[in-house]
Structure formats: structure tokens, C-alpha cells
């Protein structure tokens, strides 16, 4: 099981890139990073931590309803070269001598050099006899969540390492040598930021790994440096917690894909009853092309009318459906659609439904049961009338206004005149079904001849259906994403859809392997916003990718 495996530590690039082949591009990039590190810090790095971005192939906006999703890691990644810093006299002496002081640089010139050191948080209390007592609470690193700053992701990863591995943060720890070492690090990334390919999760995973490595908290077969070897599942959980420190409440898909992927497969990630990831081998002719719409959707700014509103519509819908189906729900419980289905089917705690049974239930829910989410007395088609007002929604939930506000609105701000409970539910059940179908097609294709492209055709159709559903029912597409997916189909893709949260960012298209070059050229020539881009900029915004291996560490010997 991927979750129990250890984080791989390599000493050659051949081993690291395995299935991908040690392409010259990779080697040049790694060498360049190591040489730059040496130039800037006067010695070789001790490690390079690598974490890839991800593209979600299917299963959009259903992770927070706890249904399975199907992403894969992309070849584009974040690399962090790092080494413990010998303490010598210098103008930066304050950081140099602070336990765990960090000098962080980025190869990209727009991200400036940062220096920071974790502080020990102390609490002063008065004893009964009036003396001050000092308690050490833990580490503190100043993370600015109001502004998007590159080093916040580095700090977020560090925070987790400090609190998990240096719990006795105190002056005593410093004296006994159990404090974190001072570190120099240099970051480079090829995952385009803010495009729905999870550069943030890759940064946090890579940073977590870099700080573990320099502090001797990752072991490999050569050096059993620690009693407990960190598993991939543990790194996913740590990285999820760490990313929350930058103010993002994520469902776990991004970190799981970055850590647990392998170079031959996509990942079927399930969140219920526990987080699990199983490889799904893709048909051999499958090449995925990511294309950035160049529309930037600032998640934090638009959350109340987009992402967070969808989360609330999805959660409230689940309660109303549960109520209509006669399912017990605790008054303060935020039940999800996946749990409603499970309880309806009599699923026992920690037991999983068989995929065929789950598919039957999804069809039944999506085709019949969710009619209870429409406004009373409405039988018409999908139009604005399908939405319900806040008062109607509260009444349908069966909760008092006070309890409703506490459970569904106290932790999040939302803005809408009408809440589209029915449309969102229709998308969620349909999309969860398509994920299982996609997986099924891939499993069946493995046993087949692979001579024709029937599997690719079927997968492509599922991707197109997903795009339609995201556009019409979940309303998370935008004109540019619709245009890009349309152009992709006209240019020979089997299927094309938005990937990630939507409202901008990237599309992913499944393209026949032998046509990738021609496909990319046609999109470059026909998508308006690409017209004035030079070739370097173009290769940043549209590129082919196969599945990549997950996060790892390279050790210099």
C-alpha cells in the first residue's frame, strides 16, 4: 500500500527518474541548481528535495463531499537544494546563530532572499507564591496569510517539522544539541503558479522534506538516521496540516497526488472512511496536455461567491437529502454526500462499499432522490428557478436559524441570493460516478489488446461530460476554459476539461500520443491569449505530461 511506503531517498538521477528516463533536461536542471547553490552558499548542497505538481484527470469539487478523485502527478516539480549551515562569523550573525535559522533563496529573481529563524513561544504564569513560571508552548514562525509570499510555503513546511520532530522547543533543547540545525536553501520550480496544478502543495511537500532531510529525520538504507521512518501517508497528513498554516483548507487530493504518485499510473484517492490512494494504470496511448487559460482566479478573494459557497451548498444539500431519506444526523454534524450514501446503504464503520454497489447508489441519488433539493412545488427544467433562498434553505434543513448559522455559516463567508442545491448535487453524484467509470475503463484496458484506442475514446467522453457538468451544473468554468476545451476537441483531443477549482487556471486534454506536437501547435495558433507569447513563455503555458513519480529526496554523496 502506497501510504505505508517510505519516502524514497536516491543517490543517482537514473534511479530517481526511473520510468521517465533520465532526460537531458532533468539532468541540466538538477546540475544547474546544485552549481548555483555552491556559488551562493560556498559549498555543495547535502540534499535536493523534489515534489511534483498534479493535474486532476477527473473528479472535480467532490473531494469535500468525500467522494474519490483521480489525479496524477505531473513531471513539473519544485526542487529545493539544501544543506546545514556551519556557524561562522558573518554580517547575518543573528540568523546564523539562531537555532534553526534559515537563509532561503529562489532561482527566480522575482522572489527575493529571505532570512528567518523560528522562535520559542513562551508563556508566563504566576505561581501561588507569586513567582513567575515559564512554560514553553512550542515554535513560532511568522507566516503572513494576508499576502501571497513565496517564503510562506517554505515556512509552512518547516513549521510541521519543528512541531513534530522538535517538540521540546526550549532553551534546554538548544543546550542539549537537540535543536534544529541552521539551513541554507535554494528553491526552483517548473510548476506554473496559480494555474490549478498545485504548485502550493508541491512547495509545502518539498519544504517539509528538505527540513526533515537536513535535520537527519529521514532515513535511507545507507544511514538509519532515525528510529522511525516517515511513511508517505504520514507525509501527506503533515503536508495537509502544514498547508493550512498558509490559510488554505484543502481536502488532501493535492498533497496525496504529490507524495504517493508513481511514474506509470494515475491515483484513485479516496477519503472515506480513511485516506487511501491506489494506482490506476493509464492506457498506453494516453498523453495529457495541460493548457493554461491565462485567467487567474484568486481563490481567497472570490471564495464567498465561488469555492466556499460551493462547499456550503454541497454540505447543506447533504443534510437535506439525509433528512428526506430518514437518515440520522447529529444536530451539529456536517454530514457529507458520501456519508449519506454510506448510511443509506447500511455501511458499517470503516467498511467500504463495493464499487458496483456505490455506482448503483450514485445513480439512484442523482436521478431520483435529489429532487427534494428543488424548491417546493417546482417541476421545471434546469434554470435559475432551481435555486432556493436562504430562508427556504434553512427551513429545508430542519434546523433553527441559530443552529444553522453556527453549523454552516460561522466558519465561512458566503454571498448568494439563491443557493443552487439541486444543480450542485446533480454534478456531485454524476462526477463521482464518472470517476468510478474512468477507473473501470482503465482497469479493463489493462487486460485488453491495446491495439485500438477504444479506452482512450471512452475516457475522453467521460472528460467531456465532466466539463459540461462543471460548466452547466457546478458553474465553475468560464468562457476562456470553455473556449480552450472546444479548441482542444477541434484539434484532435479525445476529451478535454478544466482541472482544479476552475473559474480560470488550466485545462487537461487527452491527446493521441503521435499527435501531441501538432495538437499543441494548433492550440498555440488558435487560442487568442497565446498569440503574442514568445516560445519560452508558450512552453510554460501549454505542455504535455505523462504521470510522474511522487516526492522524493536526492542525497549527495
CA gap 429, 441 in Å, rounded? 19
Tell the smallest beta-carbon distance from residue 87 to ligand NG1 (Å). Answer: 37
Task: Name which of 58 and 289 has its Cβ closer to ligand NG1.
Answer: 58
The closest alpha carbon to 71, from 210, 250, 312, 244, belongs to: 250
In whole angstroms, the minimum distance from the beta carbon of 85 to ligand NG1 comes to 32
Q: What gap in Å lies between CA 321 and CA 195, rounded to an integer? A: 34
Asked if residue 255 binds ligand NG1 (CB under 6 A), the reply is no
Helix (H, G, I), strand (E, B) or coil at 268: strand
Q: How far is the CB of 515 from ligand NG1 (least distance, A)?
A: 27
Rounded to a whole number of angstroms, the minimum distance from the CB of residue 485 to ligand NG1 is 16
Task: Tell me which of 45, 118, 180, 196 binds ligand NG1, using CB under 6 A.
Answer: 196
Single out the residue of 511, 509, 483 nearest to residue 497, CA to CA.
509
Beta-bridged to residue 103, according to DSSP, are 115, 184
Nearest residue to ligand NG1, by Cβ distance, number only: 500
Q: Which of 114, 188, 198, 509 binds ligand NG1 (CB under 6 A)?
A: 198
| Residue 61, helix vs strand vs coil | coil
| Among the listed residues 45, 160, 182, 500, the single contact to ligand NG1 using CB under 6 A | 500
Under rule CB under 6 A, residue 295 binds ligand NG1: no
Cα(152)–Cα(251) distance, integer angstroms: 20
Return the number of the residue (56 or 170) whose C-beta is nearest ligand NG1.
56
Active site residue 254: yes
Question: Which residues inside 330-349 make contact with ligand NG1, applying CB under 6 A?
Answer: none
SS3 491: coil
41 vs 474 by CB, closer to ligand NG1: 474
293 touches ligand NG1 (CB under 6 A): no
d(CA 493, CA 474): 23
The site map against ligand NG1 for 297-326 (x = CB under 6 A) is: --x---------------------------
Of the pair 71, 460, the CB lying nearest ligand NG1 is at: 71
Identity of the residue, 66 or 362, whose beta carbon is nearer to ligand NG1 in the bound complex: 66
Closer Cβ to ligand NG1, 68 or 196, answer by number: 196
In the sheet that holds 495-498, the strands lie side by side as 495-498, 506-512, 286-292, 542-545
Closest CA to 449 of 264, 287, 283, 288: 283
DSSP codes joined into one string, 189-234: E-SPTTSSS-HHHHHHHHHHHHHHHHTT-S--SS----SSPPBHHH
Rounded Cα gap, residues 341 and 244, in angstroms? 28
Q: Which stretch binds ligand NG1 (CB under 6 A): 124-132, 231-239, 251-259, 390-398?
A: 251-259
Task: Show the site string, 39-78: x = touches ligand NG1 by CB under 6 A, - = not.
Answer: -----------------x---xx-xx--------------
Tell me the site size for ligand NG1, rule CB under 6 A. 15
- What are the Cα distances from residue 496, in Å, to 424, 461, 509, 534? 21, 9, 4, 25
- Contact at 8 Å (CB) between 502 and 195? no
Distances (CA, A) of 469 to 352, 365, 474, 498: 27, 16, 6, 11
The set of cell numbers assigned to 527 is: 487560442
Pair 5, 548: CB distance under 8 Å: no
Cβ of residue 250: shortest distance to ligand NG1, in angstroms? 3
| Residue with smaller CB distance to ligand NG1, 244 or 343 | 244
Q: Binding segment for ligand NG1 among 172-180, 247-255, 348-356, 423-431 (CB under 6 A)? A: 247-255
Grid cell for residue 8: 524514497
* Three-state secondary structure of 414-477: CCCCCECHHHHHHHHHHHHHHHHHHHHHHHHHHHCCCCCCHHHHHHHHHHHHHHHHHHHCCCCC
Nearest to ligand NG1 of 64, 433 (CB atom): 64
Distance of closest approach, residue 213 Cβ to ligand NG1, in angstroms: 25
Which grid coordinates belong to 186?
A: 535554494
What minimum distance in Å lies between the beta carbon of 40 and ligand NG1?
A: 31
Asked if residue 250 binds ligand NG1 (CB under 6 A), the reply is: yes
400: left (phi over 0), alpha (psi -120 to 50) or beta: beta
* C-beta of 68 vs 100, nearer to ligand NG1: 68
- Interface pick for ligand NG1 out of 33, 230, 361, 501 (rule CB under 6 A): 501
Using an 8 Å Cβ cutoff, are 263 and 549 in contact? Answer: yes
Specify the length of the chain in residues. 557
Torsion sign, CA atoms 459, 464, 465, 469: positive
Give the nearest distance from C-beta 116 to ligand NG1 in angstroms: 24
Cβ distance to ligand NG1 smaller for residue 13 or 193: 193
Instruction: Find the shortest distance in angstroms from Cβ 501 to ligand NG1.
Output: 3
**Nearest approach, Cβ of residue 59 and ligand NG1 (Å):** 7
Please tell me whether residue 458 binds ligand NG1 under the rule CB under 6 A.
Answer: no
Out of 189, 251, 460, 504, point to the residue binding ligand NG1 (CB under 6 A): 251
Q: Which of 77, 184, 254, 453 is catalytic?
A: 254
Catalytic residues: 254
Residues of this chain that interact with ligand NG1 (CB under 6 A) are 56, 60-61, 63-64, 196, 198, 248, 250-251, 253-254, 299, 500-501
Amino acid at each position: 500500500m502506497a501510504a505505508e511506503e517510505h519516502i524514497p531517498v536516491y543517490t543517482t538521477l537514473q534511479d530517481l527518474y526511473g520510468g521517465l528516463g533520465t532526460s537531458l533536461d532533468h539532468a541540466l536542471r538538477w546540475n544547474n541548481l546544485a552549481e548555483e547553490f555552491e556559488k551562493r552558499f560556498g559549498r555543495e548542497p547535502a540534499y535536493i528535495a523534489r515534489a511534483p505538481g498534479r493535474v486532476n484527470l477527473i473528479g472535480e469539487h467532490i473531494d469535500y463531499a468525500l467522494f474519490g478523485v483521480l489525479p496524477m502527478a505531473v513531471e513539473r516539480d519544485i526542487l529545493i537544494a539544501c544543506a546545514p549551515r556551519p556557524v561562522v562569523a558573518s554580517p547575518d550573525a543573528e540568523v546564523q546563530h539562531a537555532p534553526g535559522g534559515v537563509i532561503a533563496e529562489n532561482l527566480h529573481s522575482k522572489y527575493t532572499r529571505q532570512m528567518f529563524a523560528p522562535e520559542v513561544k513562551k508563556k508566563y504564569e504566576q505561581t501561588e507564591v507569586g513567582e513567575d513560571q515559564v512554560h514553553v508552548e512550542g515554535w513560532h514562525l511568522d507566516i503572513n496569510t494576508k499576502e501571497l509570499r513565496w517564503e510562506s510555503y517554505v515556512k509552512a513546511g518547516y513549521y510541521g517539522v519543528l512541531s513534530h520532530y522538535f517538540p521540546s522547543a526550549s532553551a534546554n533543547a538548544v543546550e542539549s544539541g537537540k535543536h534544529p540545525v541552521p539551513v541554507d536553501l535554494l528553491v526552483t520550480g517548473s510548476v506554473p503558479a496559480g494555474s490549478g496544478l498545485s504548485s502550493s502543495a508541491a512547495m509545502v511537500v518539498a519544504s517539509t522534506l528538505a527540513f526533515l532531510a537536513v535535520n537527519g529525520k529521514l532515513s535511507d538504507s545507507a544511514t538509519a538516521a532515525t528510529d522511525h521512518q516517515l511513511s508517505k501517508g504520514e507525509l501527506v497528513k503533515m503536508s495537509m496540516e502544514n498547508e493550512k498554516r498558509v490559510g488554505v483548507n484543502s481536502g488532501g487530493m493535492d498533497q496525496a497526488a504529490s507524495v504517493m504518485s508513481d511514474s506509470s499510473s494515475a491515483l484513485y484517492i479516496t477519503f472515506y472512511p480513511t485516506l487511501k490512494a491506489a494506482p490506476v494504470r493509464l492506457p498506453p496511448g494516453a498523453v495529457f496536455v495541460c493548457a493554461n487559460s491565462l485567467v487567474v482566479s484568486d481563490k481567497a478573494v472570490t471564495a464567498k461567491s465561488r469555492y466556499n459557497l460551493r462547499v456550503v451548498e454541497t454540505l447543506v444539500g447533504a443534510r437535506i437529502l439525509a433528512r428526506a431519506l430518514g437518515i440520522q444526523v447529529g444536530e451539529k454534524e456536517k454530514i457529507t454526500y458520501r456519508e449519506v450514501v454510506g448510511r443509506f446503504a447500511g455501511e458499517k464503520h470503516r467498511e467500504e462499499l463495493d464499487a458496483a454497489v456505490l455506482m448503483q447508489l450514485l445513480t439512484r441519488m442523482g436521478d431520483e432522490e435529489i429532487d427534494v433539493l428543488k424548491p417546493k412545488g417546482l417541476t421545471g427544467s434546469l434554470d435559475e428557478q432551481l435555486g432556493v433562498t436562504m430562508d427556504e434553505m434553512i427551513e429545508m434543513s430542519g434546523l433553527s436559524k441559530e443552529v444553522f448559522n453556527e453549523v454552516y455559516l460561522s466558519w465561512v463567508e458566503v454571498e448568494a441570493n439563491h443557493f443552487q442545491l439541486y444543480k450542485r448535487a446533480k454534478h456531485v453524484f454524476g462526477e463521482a460516478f464518472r470517476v468510478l467509470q474512468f477507473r473501470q475503463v482503465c482497469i479493463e484496458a489493462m487486460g485488453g489488446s491495446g491495439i485500438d484506442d477504444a479506452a482512450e475514446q471512452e475516457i475522453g467522453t467521460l472528460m467531456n461530460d465532466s466539463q459540461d457538468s462543471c460548466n452547466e451544473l457546478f458553474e465553475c468554468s468560464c468562457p476562456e476554459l470553455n473556449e480552450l476545451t472546444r479548441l482542444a476537441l477541434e484539434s484532435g483531443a479525445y476529451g478535454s476539461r478544466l482541472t482544479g477549482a476552475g473559474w480560470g487556471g488550466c485545462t487537461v486534454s487527452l491527446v493521441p500520443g503521435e499527435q501531441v506536437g501538432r495538437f499543441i501547435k494548433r492550440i498555440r495558433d488558435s487560442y487568442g491569449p497565446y498569440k503574442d507569447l514568445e516560445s519560452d513563455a508558450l512552453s510554460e503555458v501549454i505542455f504535455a505530461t505523462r504521470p510522474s513519480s511522487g516526492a522524493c529526496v536526492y542525497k549527495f554523496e
